[in-house]
Structure 1
Amino acid sequence: MLLKYAMNRDVAIGFIQIMCGKMEMGRCGTSATRSDQRWHEWSSDGTIGWVLLDALQKKWPALNATDSWPIYEKLKTCSAGKPAICRVAWNTGYGHFVVCLGASGANFIFLDPYYGIVFSPATKNLFGGVHYKTKKNSFAKGEATGLIDYAIFTNLT
Structure 2
Amino acid sequence: MRPGPGRTWTLTSSSLTLRGVRYQGFAMREVAGEQVRTMHFTVDELLIRDLVQRGDLGNGRVARVAADPGSVSTITEGPIELYTRKLTGTLNVAGYPLVPVELSPEALLLPDVDLGFLELPELTFSDAVVRNAELSGGKLFIPGAEIALE
- Determine if the TM-score, normalized by the shorter chain, exceeds 0.5: no
Quick one: higher RCO (CA 8 Å, sep 6+), 1 or 2?
2
User: Shorter-chain-normalised TM-score: which range?
Assistant: under 0.3
Q: Which has a greater percent of helix? A: 1
Q: Which has a greater percent of strand? A: 2
